[in-house]
Amino acid sequence: MSKSQPKCPICEKEVAGRDENEAFPFCSKRCKQRDLGKWLGGNYAVAGRPAGPHEIAHEIQRDSD
């Protein structure tokens, strides 16, 4: 049958629907966290994270000091 059950991109377990699963499209919060970590700490972030306005202000202060 063509029941297209979405699968967790992390562990490939079947994922419950959005209605009953707040971690959708992941199977669980744990997998969601893992994916997040992958994005933050993995190859995707090689170009460097953008500086927040906070840090930029900090830099400027330091320069003019």
Which residues would be at the binding site for Zn ion (CB under 5 A)? 8, 10-11, 13, 27, 31
In the complex, what is the shortest distance from the CB of residue 32 to Zn ion, in angstroms, rounded to a whole number? 8
In the complex, what is the shortest distance from the CB of residue 8 to Zn ion, in angstroms, rounded to a whole number? 3
- CB-CB contact of 21 with 15 (8 Å): yes
In the complex, what is the shortest distance from the CB of residue 20 to Zn ion, in angstroms, rounded to a whole number? 15
Compute the distance between CA of residue 14 and CA of residue 5 in angstroms, rounded to an integer.
6
Percentage helix, strand, coil, to 5, in the chain? 45, 5, 50
* CB nearer Zn ion, residue 14 or residue 19: 14
